[in-house]
Amino acid sequence: MIDFQFIGLNHCDSVCGLTIHRFDEYSVVIVSEKPGNQGTSITNAAECLFDQVREEFNLDRVVWIEHYPDGVYISPEIMEPRPETWDVVSFTADAEGLLINRLTRWEPVRLEKIEEIISGGGNPWDIIALTD
pLDDT per residue as tens digits for the range 37-66 = 889 999 999 999 999 999 999 998 888 999
- At 98-118, the pLDDT tens digits run 655 667 888 899 898 889 888
Q: Where are the beta strands (DSSP E) in the chain?
A: 2-7, 13-22, 27-33, 62-68, 73-75, 78-81, 85-90, 105-108
Q: What percent of the chain has pLDDT over 70?
A: 79
pTM: 0.84
Report the pLDDT value the prediction gives residue 131, as an integer from 0 to 100.
34
